[in-house]
Structure 1
Amino acid sequence: MSENDLRPPIWVGHVALETDRLDESAQFMRTIGMRPVFQGPEVAIFELRGGTHLILKLKSKVVPGNAPFDLMVDDLRLAHQLYASLGLAPTPIEAMPSIEHEIFRVREPAGHVITIFSSHVSGRPV
């Protein structure tokens, strides 16, 4: 690590989500802004800010529920408007006063609910 690099020296490398609708879930992730890296018949990989990768894994049966991760955007209201205009049916924006943030949720094609948070980065390089 360089003395001039002010970013934390560690980050999340991979998060995973199982889907029984790989093509549709992959398209959803592209639609909400993830960068495609690879898509094969059983896995799709997407890159997020900071180098984190989302790995979509094809499974024959999936139990929908809350995604095991959440996402964060710079402008929550703009993202909410965009997702609504794309027909993604985001939930209304909710205030989370205990943590000084706002959130909304979207459901991806396999049925998992993904929570989108307003940015809470510290203002330092990340």
Structure 2
Amino acid sequence: MDNTDQRPPLWVGHIFLATNRLAQTAGFMRQIGMRPVTQGDEYAVFELRGGTHLVLSLVKQLTPAEADFDLMVDDLEATHRRFAELGLNPSPIEPGKIHASFNIQEPAGNRIRVLSSHVGKNPV
């Protein structure tokens, strides 16, 4: 480990989301700002800030649910406006103890919470 690197030595490598509409969900992830890495017939991989990868997995049947992850953005209000302008129908912004947040729904029906940032001044 480089002693001059002040970032934490660990990070999240992969997060997962099942979808029964792979092409549409993949298009949605590109639309909201994720970087495509690779896509096959039954999966798609996207890169997020910090090198985390979202892996979409195609399933035949899906009961839409709350995603097991959330997304964090630098400017929640601007992101909410942009998503609304894109026709993504974000929920109203709700205040919270630590984060303000809103929800968006991807094409297969899964709900994803989008949070205001709480990143500190230390390198991440």
TM-score with structure 2 length normalisation? 0.98
| Unpaired stretches in structure 1, ≥5 consecutive residues | none
Q: 1-side partners of 2:55 and 2:63: how far apart?
A: 17
Corresponding residue for 2:81? 81
Structure 1 counterpart of 2:122, which letter? R
Could you tell me the percent identity over the aligned residues?
Answer: 57
Question: Offset of 1:87 from its aligned partner?
Answer: 0.3
Moved over 6 A (4+): none
TM-score with structure 1 length normalisation? 0.97
Deviations 1:3-61 (A, max 9, x none): 11111000000000000000000000001110000011100000000100000000000
Question: Offset of 1:92 from its aligned partner?
Answer: 0.6
Structure 2 counterpart of 1:94, which letter? E
RMSD value, Cα: 0.6
Corresponding residue for 1:118? 116
Structure 2 counterpart of 1:25, which letter? T
Q: Number of paired residues?
A: 124
Q: 2-side partners of 1:63 and 1:77: how far apart?
A: 30
Structure 2 counterpart of 1:14, which letter? H
